[in-house]
Structure 1
């Protein structure tokens, strides 16, 4: 049977259209990022949970702190014993940025404190400088350093502002501030240097019934919910005798919305086990997960622990997929444990070439 040429062309066009309609819609690509010893940036495809790229990081291992760019394409890494910052194209491993923070006889250390502006144009670090003199070390004042990410592999600070000591994890807001996680949570305007209190912690005044909190931000993995979380531990005493044995012990959080810079501080669950890091579920801001020796799931509106999973060893940090279905637990050793967010049951594992130690576990999302 002969087929009319016009009908044949129409049929082919229809088949092509059906084929295109059958293709999945364009989707964001999520990569899990971490650093392993002796100095490798591990790039993990979260759709397959496989390491797709291992980038060599110059310099000695630092703390493994990572700040992904907003477009997900660049990972900024602290290296060389926390003195240098390198920017890696995570799709090629090319180094696009380098800032050597130590200059001359001034040695600069940055303790986890690295972040990128919401538009990706600036990078921020908190520098802790010490001048090395022939007969002594001169401890200098810490400062926030501002770099242009477009300045390439010989970047120098374009602005600096004085900041407090004891600052660890920081994060950039969409309002042009950097959240500073220290004894208290503060925010600094990156153009004027003006500092404001966000959440009082060590300086809070809740009377003699409340113990000043023990707060420390080693890891802040809030990119999936666009937030910064500082965990703390405190106690509520029965009376002014401040009896530790009868006190109610609580986990609390200072939680900063990175879109607005506004924060809430609240006690969320009883202090029953160690948590090194909290993340929230991107589908429900009231559901929290925590990790250390135990992976845990909590409803912070009720203070109820919804699920527990005992881990085979300590894991310092965790992160979550954008759809909220999968939790990745890492740090400390050389394996990333993969869990269902519904039940916390283990559903997989990623073996790496070296241990992560104190490294971050960040998600970089490349959007089409």
Structure 2
């Protein structure tokens, strides 16, 4: 037997195993630990944003001036941008510490800019904002044309300006970061590489026979809806006088646009859907479980705390989070629509967003 050959073969095997083990160790994250995420809820209030741990139910108050409204966050969930101070400022929050670390503004010495839409790009470097601007000329207040401005968050300098139609509001990035979904009276898409804004789908200016749509700007889901933008939509048919309620679904990966009209009207402000895209949960004075394939409400129950604006789902799809309007956050079982718990908060609220934060 050739012992030296066998020994050399075993040594090769040992080093191969060592290399594979090292690669697995490095791939698993810092110190060989797999990177985990923590789900947190962020709820805008007056002079405060609430950070709520849905597991422990601990509530942390983050002081931020004025009504705290729209939110956008980085891909890792670690930095949150909140529209605040009467839509004139953006509070930047470290979500691991739940503290304000910076404040941004688009106003200049020449005009006051009010923010009606926010989206941070996937790199976390550029903040896009829909602006309505005004300036004082002698004794008159003059409105300037609406734009999207792009800010480099490091330098706080505006590096680009994009003209948009009146009524432009919510902004959402496509998953690849190359395009921006622009919600105006109709649906537009801005191609970042081509610097080109194009009409995608008429909604309010649709053909009357297809129904004239009117969706609710303030509670559009996206990052917390499996990368499908979801807005509640009401349609009017002039020929028959019929009015329907439903949802707009816009796939932020493929660009596919879809409308679902429901079989009855209960009044809905917002909603969120399951990962398989078969079911949506929506509400206002009632909470409904809707079948997105048939357009039917499968179950409708009273919203126990009363009128709410914000309806959102946990990452695992098992819990429905309800807030907005009243000073509270409620937890419903998504399967049974049974109210599990309501936590009182210190101010009335606007919405509830669900963020997965990398630890």
TM-score surpassing 0.5? yes
Structure 1 vs Structure 2 CA RMSD: 2.0
User: Of the candidates 295, 301, 304, which is equivalent to residue 309 of structure 1?
Assistant: 301
- Superposition deviation, residue 174 in structure 1: 2.5
Out of 109, 119, 122, which is 1:118 matched to? 122
Do residues 177 (structure 1) and 179 (structure 2) align?
Answer: yes
Structure 2: state its 5+ residue gaps.
1-32
What is the TM-score of this pair, normalised by structure 1?
0.82
The CA deviation at 1:300 is: 1.5
Q: Say if 1:317 and 1:361, in contact at 8 Å, map to a contact too.
A: yes
**1:275 CA displacement:** 0.7
- Give the SS at the match of 1:218: helix
**Conserved in 2, the CA contact under 8 Å of 1:224 and 1:321?**
no
Alignment-derived partner of residue 16 in structure 1: none
Deviations 1:276-314 (A, max 9, x none): 1121112x2010111111111110111221111211311
Which runs of structure 2 are paired with 1:1-368 in the superposition (5 Å)?
Answer: 27-37=36-46, 39-51=47-59, 53-57=60-64, 59-61=65-67, 63-111=68-116, 113-151=117-155, 155-175=156-176, 176-205=178-207, 208-222=208-222, 223-236=224-237, 242-244=239-241, 247=242, 249-260=243-254, 262-282=255-275, 284-311=276-303, 312-356=305-349, 359-368=350-359
Show structure 1 runs of 5+ residues with no match.
1-23
- Separation in 1 of the partners of 2:144 and 2:264? 38
309-318 vs 187-196, which moves further: 187-196
Relative to the length of structure 2, the TM-score reads: 0.84
Look up the SS of the partner of 1:270 in the other structure: coil
Task: For 2:153 and 2:50, locate their aligned partners in 1 and report how far apart those are by CA, in whole Å.
Answer: 22
Q: Are the counterparts in 1 of residues 78 and 358 from structure 2 also a CA contact under 8 Å?
A: no
**Alpha-carbon distance change, 123 to 26 in structure 1, aligned in 2, over 3 angstroms:** closer
1:295 aligns to what SS in structure 2?
strand
Bigger shift: 177-186 or 42-51?
42-51
Offset at 1:96?
3.3
Inter-partner Cα distance in structure 1 for 2:143 and 2:264? 37
Aligned residues: 324
Task: Tell which has more relative contact order, 1 or 2 (C-alpha 8 A, sep 6+).
Answer: 1
C-alpha separation in 1, matches of 2:80 and 2:244:
35
Pairwise CA distance, 1:170: 1.7
Larger mean CA deviation between 208-217 and 292-301 belongs to 208-217
SS in 2 for 1:196: strand
Cα distance in 2 for residues equivalent to 1:348 and 1:36: 20
